[in-house]
Every structure is written in structure tokens, then in C-alpha cells.
């Protein structure tokens, strides 16, 4: 079985190839290692291999790993990529660096109010439901710009709206995979035409990171290809 060091090298090579095919600087894409269901030891192994950004879906699970990795505090960046429950916002505001799945102004307001003033601003993305399935979370595309304008009014020293995030329905084939990512890129452009300065597209996972990078992803969220199947 491949080690995490090896799988990370493979994923970095995929990112580099995709950047080069898209005529993009490899530095313009951040690899977010999605460590949900894997333990603190796996994260430590990835850290030793140079990985710094980690994505978790569940707050409680993440807090346990953060405390097991307290010696690395300040060197890791923790991203929440799962649904935000309003009774968890205080923990999130205290312990995370990024939250990718904002879908209501009320949640952003709570995070803003609860972000400790001695910490840098919490970085936020709005999750957009680009595939339009009833079961998926995220705002419908038509509501994304209005929500972005609302969040951008919150105090910038507490929360900073950075961009958009999506989890599209899985598609086979490069062209089909590109479509939802292109839609998210166009939505970001529409928000910026309304006066915002968003710079982040959090899109692309193990199966479609190439298509996402082709369409402008700045953060790819990769779990299985690094840590193995869950």
C-alpha cells in the first residue's frame, strides 16, 4: 500500500500537470487535504510530507484532532468543509481558519460576532448548489450574489468573504465535469462585477480536480486520493 507521502506526491503531480495544461501557475492552487474519518496520525504523516491545509467535515471530530495535534498549532490551517450547525458556531469561530460552506447570512453573522478579536479574520466561502439537486446543501445560484453582498458588509477584521465553493453531482468525463465548475467561475465573476473582490474558487475533489483547475479552482479539496477510501 502506498504511504501518505507517496500519495501526496502523486496528487501534487496531478495538480502541477493540470496547472500546466491550463497555463496556470501551480502556486495559484492550494491543495486542501480532506482528512475526515482519518486520525491525527494520518494528518501528522501528511504534515511531515509538507502538507499544511486540512479539511474536516464534522466539528467535534476536528476538535479532537486539533487537540491531539496541539504541538503543531500555528503551523496547520484548518478548514471546515461540512455543514455548519448554528449551535457549533462558537467552536468554529474559535478553532478554524476557513469555513467553506456558508449558506445563510445568519451563520456568517454569528461567526463574525464570535470570532475572537485576537485571531486573524475567519476566511469564508459561500457554498453554491450548482447541480440544483433538492438534497444538496448550498444556496441556489440565483441567491449567491445577494448573500455575498450581505456577508461582505460584516466587519472585515472578524470574517473575510473570499469566494465560492461547490460539491457538484459526480460526472464522468472531462467535459461533463467542467460544466458545474465553469458555472461557479461565472458566478464569482458576476459577484465581482457587483463590486466584490472575491479571489477563491473552492472546487474539485479526487475525481475531478483536473477539470476544476481548468475552470479556475484556487482550492482543490482532496481526500480519497491522499488518505485512501473511507
Ligand X SMILES: *Cc1c(COP(=O)(O)O)cnc(C)c1O
Quote the least distance from Cβ 140 to ligand X, whole Å.
18
Q: Does 57 sit near ligand X (CB under 6 A)?
A: yes
Q: Which stretch binds ligand X (CB under 6 A): 60-68, 114-122, 173-181, 216-224?
A: 216-224
Q: Does 206 sit near ligand X (CB under 6 A)?
A: yes
The residue among 119, 11, 187 whose CA lies nearest residue 201 is: 187
Query: Within positions 137 to 196, which residues make up the interface with ligand X, using CB under 6 A?
Result: 167
**176-190 burial by CB neighbour count: b if 16+ within 10 A, else e?**
ebbebbbbbbebbee
Give the separation between CA 113 and CA 75, rounded to whole angstroms. 25
Give the separation between CA 215 and CA 21, rounded to whole angstroms. 11
Quote the least distance from Cβ 57 to ligand X, whole Å.
5
* Cβ contacts of 134-137, under 8 Å, gap ≥ 24: 136/167, 136/169, 137/83, 137/101, 137/103
Of 192 and 206, nearer to ligand X (C-beta) is 206
CA distances from 168 to 30, 68, 85, 176, 202 (A): 19, 32, 21, 11, 11
Quote the least distance from Cβ 21 to ligand X, whole Å.
20
Among 3, 28, 85, 224, binds ligand X (CB under 6 A): 224
Q: Taking CB under 6 A as the rule, which mask of x and - marks residues 77-116 in contact with ligand X?
A: ----x-----------------------------------
The residue among 207, 212, 202, 206 whose CA lies nearest residue 179 is: 212
Size of the site for ligand X (CB under 6 A): 13
Of 158 and 221, nearer to ligand X (C-beta) is 221
* Residues within the interface to ligand X (CB under 6 A): 34, 36, 57, 81, 167, 205-207, 221-225
Amino acid at each position: 500500500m502506498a504511504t501518505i507521502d507517496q500519495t501526496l506526491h502523486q496528487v501534487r503531480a496531478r495538480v502541477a500537470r493540470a496547472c500546466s495544461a491550463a497555463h496556470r501557475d501551480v502556486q495559484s492552487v492550494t491543495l486542501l487535504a480532506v482528512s475526515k474519518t482519518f486520525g491525527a496520525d494520518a494528518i501528522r504523516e501528511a504534515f511531515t510530507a509538507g502538507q499544511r491545509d486540512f479539511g474536516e467535515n464534522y466539528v467535534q471530530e476536528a476538535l479532537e484532532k486539533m487537540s491531539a495535534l496541539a504541538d503543531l498549532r500555528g503551523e496547520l490551517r484548518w478548514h471546515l468543509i461540512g455543514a455548519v450547525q448554528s449551535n457549533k458556531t462558537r467552536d468554529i469561530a474559535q478553532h478554524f481558519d476557513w469555513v467553506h460552506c456558508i449558506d445563510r447570512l445568519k451563520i456568517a453573522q454569528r461567526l463574525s460576532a464570535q470570532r475572537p478579536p485576537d485571531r486573524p479574520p475567519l476566511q469564508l466561502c459561500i457554498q453554491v448548489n450548482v447541480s440544483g439537486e433538492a438534497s444538496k446543501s448550498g444556496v441556489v445560484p440565483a441567491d449567491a450574489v445577494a448573500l455575498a453582498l450581505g456577508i461582505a458588509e460584516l466587519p472585515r477584521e472578524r470574517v473575510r468573504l473570499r469566494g465560492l465553493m461547490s460539491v457538484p453531482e459526480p460526472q464522468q468525463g472531462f467535459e461533463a465535469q467542467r460544466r458545474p465548475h465553469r458555472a461557479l467561475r461565472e458566478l464569482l465573476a458576476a459577484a465581482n462585477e457587483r463590486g466584490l473582490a472575491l479571489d477563491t474558487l473552492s472546487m474539485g475533489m479526487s475525481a475531478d480536480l483536473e477539470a476544476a483547475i481548468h475552470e479556475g479552482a484556487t482550492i482543490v479539496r482532496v481526500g480519497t486520493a491522499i488518505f485512501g477510501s473511507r
